[in-house]
Amino acid sequence: MSNTERTALADFYANLAGRASNPDFELPTVRDVLENIHAAAAEPEGVTYAEVDADGVAALWCIPLDSDPQSVILHSHLGGTVLMSRHTDRKAAAHIAKAAGIRSLVVDYRRSPEHKHPAQIQDVETAYRWLLGQGYAASNIASVGHSIGGYLAVELAVRLRERGEALPGAVLSISPWADVTLLGASIEANAERDKLLTRGLLELFRSCWLDGTGIEFTDPAVNLLHADLSGLPPTAIYYGEHELLSSDAINLAEHLKQAGNELVVYELAQGQHSFIMGAGRDHDIDCAIEVMGAWLRTTLGLNVAAVAK
């Protein structure tokens, strides 16, 4: 990886975060500024898009050319429940879908503070059941997400298991925000290296999401490190070495391992938070996404050699 590739996403994040931190900006303006995070990724070739209503939940199909019609990714975007949308994740989700050779449904879950916990996971559940209604077998659905979406990807499987419902065939959690207590060692250790997140921003996200709900920060419903993670589908955890939440990923992986789950863990050297946003512009990020795609196909029982290029 060249020095230019190593620093490009970090520089992009730093510039975007700087523009969004204007103290005169109200939340709608901050949201508008940060929607531009999608520009970090290159447009993947051979992918088409279609907006869809998933039983009342807005969503976006990312459909790679010659993708497997029987399998699907359910993708939850980043943004701490407060920011971002299906549109910010469109290109990153499409790169993962293309690497796996299957289509992806990017969920536009309701955002906080307008809609607090559990609105977000409820919307992901609704989209999951909508996919089942469209004829997809649960075992052919991969629950995927990054940042808060990485939490949602795992939490969906936890909630379904608790209810005795059919589980997705795979869980891919990227840069997960797993511990809302903010006690992870990397929150301090990587404070200068993560160019997108800060402790203050995480505290703001947490407040918008949970204030007034009566939910404690250690409640298993919002804190995966305190949840029962036994009996989950095969799971892959990806994270960046330089991100604020690297401890969350490492600790979540250990918790999943101790619970007896089939697990893959992948650290991207010098990677930023939600590094998939740099897809198509960084060789190492693209390699990581190719590995994600191959893992998804293997785990879902598809032909690895059939990946669309």
At 143, which CATH number?
Answer: 3.40.50.1820
Model confidence pLDDT, tens digit, residues 101-132: 999 999 999 999 999 999 999 999 999 999 99
pTM of the complete model? 0.96
Ramachandran quadrant class, 140 (left: phi over 0; alpha: psi -120 to 50; beta: rest): alpha
Ramachandran class of 123: left when φ > 0, alpha when ψ lies in -120 to 50, beta otherwise: alpha
Q: Quickly state the pLDDT bin for 7 (edges 50, 70, 90).
A: confident
Say whether 172 sits in a helix, a strand or coil: strand
Residue 210 has pLDDT above 70, yes or no: yes
Measured in degrees and rounded to the nearest 5, phi and psi for residue 174 equal: -110, 130
> How many C-beta atoms lie closer than 10 Å to residue 266's C-beta?
16
Distance CA 100, CA 135 (A): 20
Residue 60, CA atoms < 13 Å, CB-side half-sphere: 22
What percent of the chain is modeled with pLDDT above 70? 96
Rounded CA-CA distance 6/3 in Å is 5
Which residue is listed with tokens 């600790």? Answer: 251
For the stretch 251-304, pLDDT in tens is: 999 999 999 999 999 999 999 999 999 999 999 999 999 999 999 999 999 975
Band of the pLDDT at 154, cuts 50, 70, 90?
A: very high
Percent of the chain exceeding pLDDT 90 equals: 95
Domain that holds residue 230: 3-306
What total number of domains does the chain contain? 1
